[in-house]
């Protein structure tokens, strides 16, 4: 019973594979045009043939008859009497769809009416003058001669077998009597000749003999590997002796064989490929749960190996040798078992031949699909999870990417667009690219759409670099399609693509050049179960960070710790090359289970700044006393999609291949972990979820924090005339020169105050003095006797800004970032001479200070 | 379910252990092993009653700190601390951290007093009542003291679906 079910499962699984492969092959065939590759046609033929044969075996007659009709047409295609024109291909695709449909509801497939389709398929099969016999037999080696009548009667497509049963054994072991056996055999084939002989004496008076041998000639459409199961015989008792094919060229060769008695040239022999069937025999179906178990055990073994490596006595040569061998064997075993789960991505790519073909047709575009790296292997689970994201991207490429043929010609491109699916290894991970040579992403359309959907404001958009602008297509609710088609453009999609890929521990990157095309790159881990990781330590506890999220490690020494970390509003940032990298302290993150908000960030930024200053003082004191204490700070640069952040850690322990265990169900909701692992010393370490941490700490919002790191951003950099000043040595600020009328040096002893308000009298006018630290989120302004007052231009009310230290006046080129530090009193921030600079809006500060004053609407 | 089983069967073997000096017990049929290894990895952001993760022969177990569960003062684990690991049929791998494991006792199920129905003066303490009700199956009077029998399935919150 269970055998039958598993046989059935096998049939369904195999048929599905055949259908998928055939679909792709048909798309290939279509591309090859009028002069198809013979092997391709034969492959399609064989697949349909196999489906026909095995469905007959299971009694799915409608599948069988549709497949039969298709086979007839394919046979003519194979012989060259029918050309693969559009009509033929369309009907073959239709037939394939019908088969898929029948398979989808296999239980009720026999109730379907397929007559009409079969008629249409067969109508394309030209009637050829009836040969005496439309098929020919290919006889294979056989020890015993086969009667010619049997060969003559062998139906087309049938294999002839010689089966040898021991009826006693059948009765004994399988509880199948001779009649039941014959009934079973007749249910999927024909019996020609049978002969019965009992072992030993023919005299039955001596009792039932030990064995009764029943030899018979039997024909069936089933191929040998299937027939052995169907007839319940081991492989060695089934002998294939002939195969009737309907191929005319074989017929011809056989006729000539009959005619002049000479052997046909070997090359003309039909492709009854032993070799191909042989390749199928090299595969063994293994249940997934057994593989999973094996994988888990290999994981355990890795742990044991790691522990053994740790305790191995380096002085004991013998023990060391054994440990080394354990190490090598374990690694090999782990890798081999991992490979059992790996499948070539080609199977996934193959699906898209059809998708692209259909979409192209529907959209009136000419689109071809190319695949590169189909043999690159990926973990089965990852492959399965890739179906949706890839489908989405490919659909988008067809719909939005590739232009219509006329438009392409106008642009001087080939009429037919090409989508390339490419897979390749890079640095221990797999990259999957979906590239099209279409129109590229229209930045203007992206901007319009974002504004229209109110996803971002105009100002926010202006502050974005090009990659960030492209990254906006991943926002939920975004769709650039000017009109909604039924292909794509429903506004759900790219955000789902992104989250799907991120769930796999991967990232999505976009490159797009307007007019030239778009390339989406998915970077994926090889497998989900064992991942290379960096082990770090903080708070005396070790954590694992998946290598795929790790960009680089930065270590700052001595005074750099103080100077290289800047404060941007509520945030600590580090200038990594030309990018502003927000920093997060892992220790702080661990201590705060609630998601960070602006206040949390501001409070910790201020605290860290103070700590650093105190530490700096200690450092200086120690250096002066001649006993310097080393001072350093390490952080890991982690990437989340297009953005990066730095995670400050205590210590880097090393790298390790870790076996990922999921979090316990009661802890699944903790965002900052993606799982746990057992380290070599047997301790459990938690695996940090970089995406989760970015969300928890709110680093992800600040994609615009990265500035000026791309050429495009440089292009959009503006020139600003500024007066630069400093509140504190590490807090540089600027004031647009156009807003300043004059600068006065003042003495703080001359300042008078009324309540909270401070005034200074300059040129006989009592002027309100505004301290920036009261209105902006900056550090307290240091107290000095001599300070500067900046007087604004064209103000109806007398006020000035108090600043402790002037830096310079000049023209600076930078991109104003408005996202970084949002405050009514601030225009934005910019990177000037390597320092983050806050550009102050004096009139807004005055308005905050004196809301009662009469203010013209700005 | 386990409550029914406990009352239906005449005698039950329980693993007795102590928390803050008081005696508790769990049905021995739920217990997989008692482990001396208490090198527990702390899980920041986890609920307070989660002590952390413990590796036992390659399998990661969640460890619940029963002291916190019963609102006792938390105390560092000492040489007598043990982790009682429960059978895998109960939930994903987990166990409880206790101050010490005493003995295996045979108790007569019919003498088990359902704490919820009878809140007498002999109750081991009012703070226990604040612990989740489903955690306690009842109180069993031993010659010298009372033992609180715990429902192992009530330790972790129920699965959502």
What pLDDT does residue A541 have? 92
Contact: B157, A666; criterion CB under 8 Å: yes
Instruction: Give the Cα separation of A779 and A6 in Å (integer).
Output: 73
> Which band of pLDDT confidence, cut at 50, 70 and 90, is reported for residue A137?
low
pLDDT tens digits for A17-29?
A: 888 888 888 888 8
Instruction: Give the DSSP letter of residue A486.
Output: S
Q: With an 8 Å Cβ cutoff, are B41 and A541 in contact?
A: yes
CB contact under 8 A, A666 and B45: no
Let me know: does B37 contact B82? Beta carbons within 8 Å.
Answer: no
Q: Kind of pairing, strands A826-832 and A835-840?
A: antiparallel
Q: Is the dihedral of CA A20, A24, A30, A36 positive or negative?
A: negative
Alpha carbon A704 to its chain centroid, in Å, reads 25
- Residues A84, A77 contacting (CB under 8 angstroms): yes
pLDDT band at A857 (very low <50, low <70, confident <90, very high): very low
Length of chain B equals: 161
pLDDT for A501: 85
The pLDDT assigned to A277 comes to 40
CA distance readout (Å), B66 to A554, A582, B134: 42, 40, 14
pLDDT per residue as tens digits for the range A634-662: 899 998 877 789 999 998 888 887 878 88
Record: fold of B12-154: OB fold (Dihydrolipoamide Acetyltransferase, E2P) (2.40.50)
Q: What is the mean pLDDT of residues A613-621?
A: 85
As a whole number of angstroms, the distance between CA A42 and CA A653 comes to 58
Q: Sort out which chain A residues have CB atoms less than 8 A from B58's CB and list them.
A: 299-300, 303-304, 678
In what side-by-side order are the strands of the sheet with A212-220? A136-139, A238-245, A159-166, A212-220, A190-198
Residue found by looking up tokens 């619940």 in the block: B64
Q: What is the mean pLDDT of residues A772-786?
A: 83
Mean pLDDT of the A152-165 span = 76
Q: Considering Cα of A399, then A400, then A402, then A404, what sign does the dihedral take?
A: positive
DSSP labels for A554-567? EEEETTHHHHSEEE
**Tokens standing for residue A391:** 């489908």
A667–B50 CB contact, under 8 Å:
yes
Asked if the Cβ–Cβ distance from B41 to A678 is below 8 Å, we say no
Reported as half-sphere exposure (CB side, CA atoms, 13 A), residue B95 has a value of 26
Quick: pLDDT tens for A468-505.
888 888 877 776 554 444 444 444 568 778 888 877 77
Query: What are the backbone angles phi and psi of residue A597, rounded to the nearest 5°?
Result: -120, -175
The Cα–Cα gap between A58 and A8 comes to: 8
pLDDT of residue A257: 39
H helix runs in A576-597, sequence order: 586-591
Across A585-614, average pLDDT: 86
Instruction: Tell me what pLDDT residue A205 has.
Output: 58
Q: Are A792 and A800 spatial neighbours (Cβ–Cβ below 8 Å)?
A: yes
- The per-residue pLDDT for range B13-59, each reduced to its tens digit, is 999 999 988 999 999 999 999 988 778 999 999 998 899 999 887 78
Spatial contact of A531 and A658, defined as CB atoms under 8 Å apart = yes
Structure tokens at B34: 């008692």
Pairing of strands A367-372, A212-220: unpaired
B62, A686: Cβ pair inside 8 Å?
no
With a cut of 50, list the residues of chain B below it in pLDDT: 1-3, 5-7, 118-122, 130
**Mean pLDDT score across all residues of chain A:** 77
- Cβ contacts of A48 within 8 Å, gap of 6 or more: A18, A22, A67, A70, A71, A74
Quote the distance between the C-alpha of residue A714 and its chain's center: 31
Which residues of chain B are within 8 Å of residue A590 when distances are taken between CB atoms? Answer: 44-45
Evaluate if residue A251 carries a pLDDT over 60: no
Q: Give the tokens for residue B147.
A: 């033992």
Residues in chain A: 858
pLDDT score, position B27: 93
Higher per-residue pLDDT: A366 or A223: A366
- Say which DSSP state A775 is in: H
| Integer angstrom CA distances of residue A805 from A785, A801, A832, B83 | 12, 12, 17, 62
Per-residue pLDDT averaged across A501-517, rounded? 84
Between B116 and A158, the more confident residue is A158
Instruction: Determine the pLDDT at residue A134.
Output: 44
CA Rg value for chain B? 15
Select the residue from B38, B40, B46, B83 to test the A interface by mutation, using most A Cβ atoms within 10 A: B46
pLDDT tens for each residue of A204-227 = 555 666 677 778 888 877 777 677
State the count of interchain CB pairs (< 8 A) between A and B. Answer: 57
Element (H, E) at A794: none
- Contact check, Cβ <8 Å, A667/B44: no
By C-alpha distance, the chain B residue nearest A681 is B55
Token pair, residue B25, equals: 């017990």
**Residue A463 pLDDT grade (very low, low, confident, very high; cuts 50, 70, 90):** confident
- Are the beta carbons of A640 and A515 closer than 8 angstroms? no
CA distances from B40 to A588, A718, A826, B54, B113 (A): 21, 56, 49, 5, 35
Chain A residues with CB under 8 Å of a chain B CB are: 299-300, 303-304, 541, 590-591, 593, 661, 664-667, 670, 672-673, 676, 678, 682-686
- Given this model, what pLDDT does residue A307 score? 73
Closest CA to A213 of A169, A274, A270, A279: A169
**Number of helical (H) and strand (E) elements in chain B, helices listed first:** 3, 10
Alpha carbons A818 and A775: distance in angstroms, whole number: 18
Q: Which two tokens stand for residue A497?
A: 């693509």
Helices and strands (DSSP H and E) totals, chain A: 27, 34
Distance in angstroms (rounded) separating the CA atoms of residues A631 and A616: 9
CB contact under 8 A, A667 and B52: no
Beta strand residue intervals within A13-141, DSSP E: 136-139
pLDDT of residue A144: 61
B55 contacts in chain A (CB < 8 Å) = 678, 682-684
Q: What is the pLDDT of residues A798-812, one digit of tens each?
A: 888 888 888 887 777
DSSP string, A316-347: -HHHHHHHHHHHHHHHHHHHHHHHHTEEETHH
**ipTM (interface pTM):** 0.85
Does residue A631 contact residue A564 with C-beta atoms inside 8 Å? no
List the end-to-end C-alpha distance of chain A, in Å, as a whole number.
84
Residue whose token pair is 């595969």: A283
Q: How far apart are CA A44 and CA A66, in angstroms?
A: 15
- A656-708 pLDDT per residue, tens: 878 788 888 899 889 899 889 888 777 899 999 888 898 888 875 444 444 43
Q: Which two tokens stand for residue A498?
A: 């992104």
Q: What pLDDT score does A200 carry?
A: 52
What pLDDT is recorded for position B83? 94
Q: Are A778 and A726 in contact (CB under 8 A)?
A: no
Q: How far apart are CA A334 and CA B122, in angstroms?
A: 58
């Amino acid at each position: 019973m269970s055998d039958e079910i598993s046989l059935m499962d096998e049939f369904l699984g195999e048929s599905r594979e055949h259908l998928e492969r055939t679909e792709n092959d048909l798309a290939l065939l279509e591309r090859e045009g009028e002069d198809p590759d013979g092997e391709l046609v034969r492959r399609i033929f064989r697949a349909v043939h196999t489906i026909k044969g095995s469905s007959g075996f299971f009694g799915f007659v409608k599948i069988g008859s549709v497949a039969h009709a298709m086979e007839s047409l394919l046979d003519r295609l194979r012989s060259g009497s029918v050309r693969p024109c559009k009509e033929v291909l369309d009907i073959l695709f239709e037939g394939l769809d019908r088969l898929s449909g029948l398979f989808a509801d296999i239980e009720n497939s026999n109730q379907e009416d397929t007559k009409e389709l079969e008629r249409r398929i067969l109508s394309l099969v030209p009637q050829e003058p009836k040969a005496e016999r439309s098929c020919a037999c290919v006889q294979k080696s056989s020890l015993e001669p086969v009667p010619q009548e049997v060969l003559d009667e062998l139906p087309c497509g049938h294999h002839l077998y010689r089966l040898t049963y021991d009826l006693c054994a059948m009765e004994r072991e399988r509880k199948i009597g001779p009649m039941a056996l014959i009934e079973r055999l007749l249910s999927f084939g024909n019996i020609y000749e049978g002969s019965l002989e009992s072992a030993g004496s023919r005299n039955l008076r001596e009792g039932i003999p030990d064995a009764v041998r029943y030899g018979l000639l039997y024909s069936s459409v089933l191929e040998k590997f299937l027939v052995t199961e169907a007839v319940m015989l081991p492989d060695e008792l089934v002998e294939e002796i002939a195969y009737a094919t309907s191929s005319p060229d074989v017929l011809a060769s056989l006729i000539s064989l009959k005619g002049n008695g000479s052997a046909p040239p070997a090359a003309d022999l039909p492709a009854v490929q032993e070799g191909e069937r042989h390749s199928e025999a090299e595969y063994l179906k293994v249940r997934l749960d057994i593989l999973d178990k094996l994988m888990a055990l290999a994981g355990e073994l890795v742990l044991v190996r790691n522990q053994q490596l740790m305790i191995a006595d380096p002085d004991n040569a013998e023990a060391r040798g054994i440990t080394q061998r354990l190490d090598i064997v374990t690694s090999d075993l782990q890798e081999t078992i991992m490979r059992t789960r790996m499948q070539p991505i080609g199977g996934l790519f193959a699906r898209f031949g059809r998708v692209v073909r259909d979409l192209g047709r529907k959209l009136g575009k000419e689109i071809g699909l190319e695949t590169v790296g189909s043999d690159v292997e990926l973990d089965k689970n990852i492959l399965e999870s890739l179906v949706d994201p890839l489908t989405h991207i490919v659909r988008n490429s067809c719909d939005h990417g590739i232009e219509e043929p006329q438009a392409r010609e106008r642009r001087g491109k080939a009429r037919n667009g090409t989508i390339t699916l490419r897979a390749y290894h890079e640095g221990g991970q797999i990259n999957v690219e979906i590239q099209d040579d279409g129109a590229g992403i229209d930045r203007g359309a992206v901007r319009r759409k974002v504004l229209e959907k109110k996803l971002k404001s105009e100002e926010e958009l202006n502050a974005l670099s090009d990659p960030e602008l492209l990254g906006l297509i991943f926002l939920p609710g975004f769709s650039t399609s000017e009109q909604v088609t039924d292909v794509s453009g429903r506004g759900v999609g790219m955000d789902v693509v992104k989250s799907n890929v991120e769930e796999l521990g991967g990232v999505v990157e976009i490159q797009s050049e307007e007019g030239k095309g778009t390339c989406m790159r998915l970077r994926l881990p090889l497998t989900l179960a064992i991942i290379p990781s960096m082990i770090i330590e903080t708070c005396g506890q070790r954590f694992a960070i998946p290598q795929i999220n790790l960009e680089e490690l930065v270590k700052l020494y001595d005074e750099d710790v103080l100077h290289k970390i800047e404060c941007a509003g509520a945030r600590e940032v580090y200038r990594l090359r030309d990018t502003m990298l927000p920093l997060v302290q892992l220790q702080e993150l661990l201590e705060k289970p609630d998601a960070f908000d602006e206040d949390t960030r501001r409070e910790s930024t201020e605290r860290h700044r103070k700590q650093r200053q105190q530490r700096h003082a200690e450092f200086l004191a120690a250096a002066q006393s001649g006993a310097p204490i080393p001072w350093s700070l390490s952080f890991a640069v982690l990437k989340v999609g297009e953005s990066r952040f730095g995670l400050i850690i205590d210590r880097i322990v090393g790298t390790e291949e870790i076996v990922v265990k999921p979090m316990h169900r009661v802890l699944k909701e903790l965002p900052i972990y993606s799982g746990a692992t057992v380290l070599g010393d047997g301790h459990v370490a938690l695996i940090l979820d970089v995406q989760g941490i970015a969300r928890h700490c709110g680093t992800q919002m600040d994609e615009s924090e990265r500035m000026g790191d791309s050429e495009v951003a440089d292009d959009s950099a503006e020139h600003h005339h500024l007066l630069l000043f400093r509140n504190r040595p590490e807090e540089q600020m600027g004031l647009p020169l156009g807003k300043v009328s004059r600068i006065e040096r003042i003495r703080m002893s001359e300042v008078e105050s009324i309540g909270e308000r401070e005034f200074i009298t300059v040129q006989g006018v009592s002027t309100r003095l505004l301290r920036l630290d009261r209105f902006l989120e900056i550090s307290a302004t240091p107290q000095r006797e001599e300070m500067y007052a900046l007087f604004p231009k064209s103000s109806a009310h007398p006020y000035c800004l108090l600043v402790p230290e002037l830096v310079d006046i000049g023209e600076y080129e930078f991109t104003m970032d408005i996202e970084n530090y949002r405050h009514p009193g601030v225009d934005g921030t910019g990177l000037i001479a390597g320092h983050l600079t806050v550009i102050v809006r004096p009139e807004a500060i005055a308005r905050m200070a004196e809301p009662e004053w009469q203010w013209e609407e700005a | 379910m386990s409550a029914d089983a406990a009352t239906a069967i005449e005698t039950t073997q329980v693993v007795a252990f102590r928390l803050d000096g008081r005696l508790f017990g769990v049905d021995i049929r739920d217990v997989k092993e008692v482990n001396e290894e208490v090198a527990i990895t702390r899980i920041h952001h986890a609920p307070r009653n989660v002590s952390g993760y413990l590796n036992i022969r390659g399998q990661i177990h969640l460890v619940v700190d029963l002291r916190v569960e019963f609102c006792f003062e938390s105390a560092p684990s000492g040489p007598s601390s043990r982790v009682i690991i429960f059978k895998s049929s109960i939930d994903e791998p987990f166990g409880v951290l206790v101050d010490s494991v005493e003995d295996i006792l045979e108790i007569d199920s019919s003498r088990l007093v359902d704490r919820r129905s009878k809140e007498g003066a002999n109750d081991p303490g009012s703070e226990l009542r604040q612990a989740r009700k489903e955690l306690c199956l009842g109180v069993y009077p031993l010659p010298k003291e009372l033992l609180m029998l715990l429902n192992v399935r009530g330790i972790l919150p129920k699965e959502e679906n």
